[in-house]
Structure 1
Amino acid sequence: MSLISALARLEAAQSGRAQPAATVRHRHLSEHPLVFVPLTTAGEAGAPLGALVGTDRDAPRLLVVPQPRDRDLRFAFLAELADIVLPYLDGYAGVVEAAERSETDPETGKRVKVEVELCADAPQLLVPSRAGVEFVRLLGRSMRFRRTAEQEPEAPHPAPPRVPLLGRWLTHFGERARVPGSSLLLALTEVLGRHWATGQSSLEDQHLGALLAWIEPSAGESGATAALRAELQRDSDGQLRCPPAGPATDPAFDNKLLAPAIERYDRARTRLAAAEDGLEADDRLGELTSAEREIRALVADRTRPTWDAVWRGLDLLRALPEGAHVADRWTRDRWSFTGHRDRVTAGEPPQPRRDDAVTAANKLATREREQARLDAQEALDDPLVMVGRRLAGEAFAGEVTDVVMAYSEGKRPSPRPLITVRTEDRPHLGERTKVFRTLGGKPQAAEFVGYEDDGALVVLRIVDKMGRGKEPEAGSVPEKGDRLCFTLFEHEQRGGAKLPDPEATPWTHGGPPGDPEALPLPDPVTEEDVL
């Protein structure tokens, strides 16, 4: 936690209201996001109990599994979920625009620009909390390898045709959620927590109701009191008035309401199967329908408060202006969505259970690079975030007090002006440390020369972005009296070393994928190995 974040949390605890942690919105929000509020069965990993899903705030679709242990009912739930999600994804997959992308020419080995299709927009999936993101990943992993009746006619429990396809898409969304700055799959508690600092821990912020209570407490009530009420207040039946933000359920709900309702459903289903005539079957069918309707009502009652809370959180986020670099990050999400669409259309197999060495290293390098890029872009977009970097000694701001024109030595002297900046910050500068400022949307570099006046004055040498002539271009050199902000971190991240192709994986990392001979074999058993 940075110093500015700690100060914001202390101020929130003292004032009783969440404090802004950002002045702009650092995540993209779609005009029509697909909100997914799942509910799972206690003690059954990945067993869905129900969900509210949809793009209409006032008309969500309710999906329920009356008996989560029944595999056929679970597949029916997943098939119904696929009937909602896949058409939503297809609505974005068909609208494309022309774009340029750099690719390697197989003949020359040089990088050339080619014109390709890029989806004009991309879908966005919203879940209440981080646990919802993990549930989406778990669903994707459990669905994408399912075999359908067309693939295996004799399979004991064939999956509906659209279930494996939905699993591939959910896996992609879950993997993309691990990339810092991505907005394809967002946990609302994570996004709200990035823009507001509360007086409670980050773990407590995962309760959406408590988090919103800190941001918008009732009149005359502190955030701590409102959050405590959201977490603990129960009705006359002992049920939470503000259920957790999914997918977990409250034990009191499981024991007092859900378990008896499922037991009644099981009894009704057993009686229907044992019915001997049509009249008795009609009566038993009525009992089964009533029991199923009761479970649906219970699931709707547990998920609707969270559904409404998600849309309240979206209203709060939409009120913030979008950061300058958010559109660039969303473009990378569009490329990711387009690439996966092309892989699915081409009939490629689903994502493997375990990545090979090269793919895993590429994913790790991408996440590290995107994290550094996100940190830099958020600071450049948001003065409040930049304050935190200044307090950490990673940036400094001040007024230009002097400009001295100087030139480099050599046959063609280039301008190397010296500027003096008066600052109250204490950046961590060493000999010839490079610093950067934004000039026309691009970073301009300077070198640290030294301190003057006991560290109150910082002398820098501008080294680039001044044109090719002997004299610097107009506006490329700061003038006396300008207020500037320099960072010690680079604004654009460089690419890492090129990794080998998966087919050229060295034997130290398992050899090429699918090559059993490349795997190291164990030593043969000898007499000394047997006691």
Structure 2
Amino acid sequence: MSLIDALGRLEAVRTGRAQPAATVRHRHLSDRPLVLVPLTTAGEAGAPLGALVGTDRDAPRLLVVPQPRDRDLRFAFLAELADAVLPYIDSYAGEVEAAERTETDPETGKRVKVEAELCADAPQLIVPSRGGIELVRLLGRSMRFRRTAEQDPETPHPAPPRVPLLGRWLTHYGERARVPGSSLLLALTDLLSRHWATGQSGLEDQHLGALLAWIDPPDGMTGAQAALRAELARDADGQLLCPPAGPATDPAFDNRLLAPAIERYDRARTALAAAEDGLEADGRLAALAAAEREIRALVERVTRPTWDAVWRGLDLLRALPEGAHVEERWTRDRWSFTGHRDRVLAGEPPQPRRDDAVTAAHKLAAREREQARLDAQEALDDPLVMAERRLAGEAFTGEVTEVVMAYSEGKRPSPRPLVTVRTEDRPHLAERAKVYRSLGGRPQTAEFVGYEPCPDGALIVLRITDKMGRGKEPEPGSVPEKGEHVCFTLFEHEQRGGAKLPEPERTPWTHGGPPGEPGPEPADPVTEEDLL
């Protein structure tokens, strides 16, 4: 936990209300996001019980599995989920625009710019908490390998074609959620806790009701009081007034309401199967429908408060202005969406169960690079985040007190002005260390020359080394002027690419060898003599 975050949490405890941890919104929010509030059954990982899904806050679509142990009903639920999600995704796949992207020329190996098709926007999926993201990944993994009747006419339980297609999209969204700064799939609890510091722990922030209670408590209550009520308060039937944000359910709900309702549903279904004539079957069919309606009402009862809380949290986030670099990161999300759309249209197979060594290394390097880029961009967009970096000695701000023009040595001298900055910060500067400032959206580099203490801080002398034009005199505005307030960082604003990795077919034997090659010989089988 950083010092700024700790101070924010202490201030939240003192005032009884969450404190801003950011002055701008650091993630993109779509004008029409798809909200998914999933619910799973206790005792079996990933067994769906129901969900609320949709883009209209006043008219969500309710999906329910009356008997989660019945795989046919679970598969029907997944087909309904595909019917709700895929049209939303397809609505963004058709509208495109021309854009430039950088690719590697296969002949020369150089990076060149080519014109490509880019989707004008991308679908955004919002889930209540981090557990929802894990469930999306789990559903994607379980759905994308389902066989359809077209693929295998003899498969015992063929899936509708839309089910494995949705599995591929959910897998892509789940993988993209692991990329720092991505906004295709967002957990609202992570989003809110990034922008507000509450008086509770990070683990407690995963309770959506308690988190919103700190950020926007009811009149006459402090954040701590409202959060305690959201976590523990129950009605006369012993049910939570603020049900969990999913995908898990409350044990009291499972034991007192859900289990008896499912048991009545099972009895009604068994009785219907044992009916001997049509008249008797009609009566028992009505009883089965009533039992199913009861389960649907129970699922809606525990998911609707979370659904309303998600939209309430989105309203709070929309009140914040968007950060300057958010659109740039959303453009990378659009490229990701467009690339997966093209792979689906080209008929490529689904994502593998396990990445090969080169692909896994590429993903890890990309996530590390995006994390460093996100940290830098959030600091450049937000003075409150930059203050955290300043306290850590990774940046400093101050007033320019002197500018002395100097030039490099050589046949063609270039401007190398010396800039003196008075600052109260204490940056961790080493000899000839490089520092950076944002100049028109691009990083300008300077070199640390000297340090001199003064009564109100310190004087730091820097040598500007680039972004001054090609002439003998610097271009106007490229050199700080006396009296100007400047901010320099010790971290780079743009991240460089890592080491080049081999092609998959040249994977070394230490990492499993090329894909498709036989693996190492299995160990000798364990026999009775090997055990005591």
Task: Tell me the TM-score normalized by structure 2.
Answer: 0.97
Question: Is 2:168 the counterpart of 1:174?
Answer: no
Deviations 1:369-399 (A, max 9, x none): 0000000000000001100000010000000
TM-superposed CA distance for 1:251, in Å, is 0.1
Q: Residues of 2 paired with 1:389 and 1:512: CA distance?
A: 43
Give matches, 1:66-105, under 5 Å: 66-105=66-105
Deviations 1:269-294 (A, max 9, x none): 00000000001000110110000000
Aligned to 2:345: 345
1:75 and 1:160 in contact (8 A); partners too: no
TM-superposed CA distance for 1:523, in Å, is 7.5
Deviations 1:454-493 (A, max 9, x none): 5611111111111111111111111110000100000001
Q: 5+ residue gaps in structure 1? A: none
- The residue identity in structure 1 corresponding to 2:489 is T
Deviations 1:271-320 (A, max 9, x none): 00000000100011011000000000000000000000000000000000
Q: Residues of 2 paired with 1:66 and 1:23: CA distance?
A: 45
Aligned to 1:147: 147
Aligned to 2:489: 487
Q: Secondary structure at the match of 2:317?
A: helix
Aligned to 2:294: 294
Q: Residues of 2 paired with 1:464 and 1:154: CA distance?
A: 67
Q: 5+ residue gaps in structure 2? A: none
Q: Residues of 1 paired with 2:462 and 2:350: CA distance?
A: 53
Aligned to 2:423: 423
Question: Is 2:5 the counterpart of 1:5?
Answer: yes
Q: Residues of 2 paired with 1:345 and 1:327: CA distance?
A: 27
- The residue identity in structure 2 corresponding to 1:145 is F
Aligned to 2:119: 119
- The residue identity in structure 2 corresponding to 1:485 is C
- The residue identity in structure 2 corresponding to 1:251 is P
Q: Residues of 1 paired with 2:22 and 2:522: CA distance?
A: 56
Aligned to 2:366: 366
Q: Residues of 1 paired with 2:479 and 2:115: CA distance?
A: 38
Q: Residues of 2 paired with 1:366 and 1:118: CA distance?
A: 21
Match of 1:467 among 469, 472, 478: 469
Q: Residues of 2 paired with 1:504 and 1:284: CA distance?
A: 65
Deviations 1:52-75 (A, max 9, x none): 000001000000000001011001
TM-superposed CA distance for 1:530, in Å, is 8.1
Aligned to 2:413: 413
TM-superposed CA distance for 1:161, in Å, is 1.8
- The residue identity in structure 1 corresponding to 2:220 is G
Q: Residues of 2 paired with 1:383 and 1:170: CA distance?
A: 36
Q: Residues of 1 paired with 2:512 and 2:161: CA distance?
A: 35
After alignment, is 450-459 or 16-25 more displaced?
450-459
TM-superposed CA distance for 1:358, in Å, is 0.3
Q: Secondary structure at the match of 1:354?
A: coil
1:204 and 1:210 in contact (8 A); partners too: yes
Q: Residues of 1 paired with 2:83 and 2:180: CA distance?
A: 30
Q: Residues of 2 paired with 1:509 and 1:423: CA distance?
A: 50
Aligned to 1:233: 233
TM-superposed CA distance for 1:524, in Å, is 7.9
Q: Secondary structure at the match of 1:45?
A: coil
Deviating 4+ runs (over 6 angstroms):
none
Give matches, 1:387-466, under 5 Å: 387-453=387-453, 456-466=458-468
TM-superposed CA distance for 1:453, in Å, is 2.7
- The residue identity in structure 1 corresponding to 2:472 is K
- The residue identity in structure 1 corresponding to 2:216 is E
- The residue identity in structure 2 corresponding to 1:502 is P
Q: Secondary structure at the match of 2:432?
A: coil
Q: Residues of 1 paired with 2:19 and 2:447: CA distance?
A: 36
- What value does the CA root-mean-square deviation take over the aligned residues? 1.3
TM-superposed CA distance for 1:154, in Å, is 2.8
Q: Residues of 1 paired with 2:315 and 2:524: CA distance?
A: 66
Aligned to 2:248: 248
Q: Residues of 2 paired with 1:73 and 1:267: CA distance?
A: 16
What is the number of residues matched between the two proteins?
526
Aligned to 1:505: 507
